[in-house]
Structure 1
Amino acid sequence: MTEHTDPAERFTVSIGVREGVIVASASGELDYHHAGRFQERISEAWETLRSPALILNMAAVAFCDSMGIGVLVLLRNRSREQGRLLVLSALPAHLERVLTLTGLRGAFLIEPSVEDAIRSVAGSSGTQ
C-alpha cells in the first residue's frame, strides 16, 4: 500500500512580528514544489509589514534543494537592494553544509537562534 501525500502539506511558513522584526518560520521541504510559494509569502510579508529586517527561522526545514537555495539567494539580494537585513536563524546541519559547500555561507548573516537574530538586528545599523 502506497501513501500519497499532497506536496502542499509538506511545507508551511508561519509569519509573525517579534520586537518589530518579521520572523518567518519555515517547516518541511523547501524544494521545487514549495520554493515559489515560500518566496511569495516572504515578499508579501516584507511589503505588508514594512520591517527593516526579516529573520528566516529555518530550524524545521527538513530538506532544501537548489530551488530553495535559489530563493534564499534571491531574498538576500533583494534585502541588500532595499537596504534591509535578512538573517537566517537556527540552520539545520544539512542546510548549513549545503551553504558551505556552495560557497554561500559567508553571503548570509546567520545566527544560532531566533532570539540571537533579534539581538543581532537590534544591534545593527540596518545594513548588511
Structure 2
Amino acid sequence: MSSSPRDICDQPPGRTPGGPAIHSSGTTAMEALHLTTTERGHTITIAVSGELDISTIDQLREHIRRIVQTARIRHDVPRYDCHVHVDLDGLSFVDASGLGALIAIHTNAHDRGVALAFTRIPAHLHRILTITGLHEHLTSPPANRPPPTS
C-alpha cells in the first residue's frame, strides 16, 4: 500500500517510507558516510557513521577491502590472528544494498584469512540482522577461532 501525499506530509521530519531523509524545509539530504580507522596491536577498528546505501557502499567496500588486503601482510601473522572490527554504532540508515555490502565485506575478509566482525550494531540494523538470521554470522569470529582481543 503506498502512502498518499497527505500521509507523508503528516509524518514528522526525517525519513519518508522508502525514501531519502527529508529536512523540515522539504529538501532531501544524502548524509555522507564517514570512516575513521584506528589500529592497536593486531586489531584494526573502523568506525562507520552516516548512511550506508547505494550511493555510499562503494566507499565502504573499497576502504575495508584495502585494509583487509594488507592486514595480514602488514602484521605478518597467521590466518585469523589479525582482527578487523567494524564499529557500526554511527550508522543512521542502512538500505538493502548496504546490507548486501556488509555480507560481501565479511565474506571477503574471511576468504583472506582476516577475522572481521561488525560491532556496536545500532538497534535499527540489529533488528534487520536478527530477522534475516545474519546477526550471529556477521558479529561472530570465524568458526573454531577465539574472539578477538582489543
The structure that has the greater radius of gyration is 2
Which of the two has greater helix per residue?
Answer: 1
- Which residue is 2:126 aligned to? 96
> Is residue 56–residue 87 contact of structure 1 (8 Å, CA) maintained in 2?
yes
* Aligned CA distance change for structure 1 residues 94 and 110 (closer, same or farther; 3 Å): farther
- Alpha-carbon displacement from aligned partner over 1:65-105 (angstroms, at most 9, x marks no partner): 11111111011111221222111111101111011111211
- Which residue is 1:122 aligned to? 149
Match of 1:64 among 94, 105, 114: 94
Structure 2 residue matching 1:57: 3-state secondary structure = strand
Q: How many positions carry a matched residue from both structures?
A: 114
The answer for unaligned runs of 5 or more in structure 1 is 112-118, 124-128
**C-alpha distance in structure 1 between counterparts of 2:69 and 2:95, whole Å:** 26
Amino acid at match of 2:39: V
Q: Alignment identity in percent?
A: 25
Instruction: Please give the residue correspondences for 1:1-128 in structure 2 after superposition, counting only pairs within 5 Å.
Output: 2-3=26-27, 5=29, 7=30, 10-50=32-72, 52-110=82-140, 120-122=147-149
> Is residue 129–residue 135 contact of structure 2 (8 Å, CA) maintained in 1?
yes
**C-alpha distance in structure 2 between counterparts of 1:82 and 1:100, whole Å:** 26
**C-alpha distance in structure 2 between counterparts of 1:86 and 1:69, whole Å:** 15
Amino acid at match of 2:69: E
Structure 2 residue matching 1:108: 3-state secondary structure = helix
- Which residue is 2:79 aligned to? none
The answer for unaligned runs of 5 or more in structure 2 is 1-24, 76-81
Q: Give the TM-score normalised by structure 2.
A: 0.66
Structure 1 residue matching 2:113: 3-state secondary structure = coil
**C-alpha distance in structure 2 between counterparts of 1:23 and 1:39, whole Å:** 15
**C-alpha distance in structure 1 between counterparts of 2:53 and 2:28, whole Å:** 17
**C-alpha distance in structure 1 between counterparts of 2:91 and 2:118, whole Å:** 12
Q: Give the TM-score normalised by structure 1.
A: 0.77
**C-alpha distance in structure 2 between counterparts of 1:24 and 1:79, whole Å:** 14
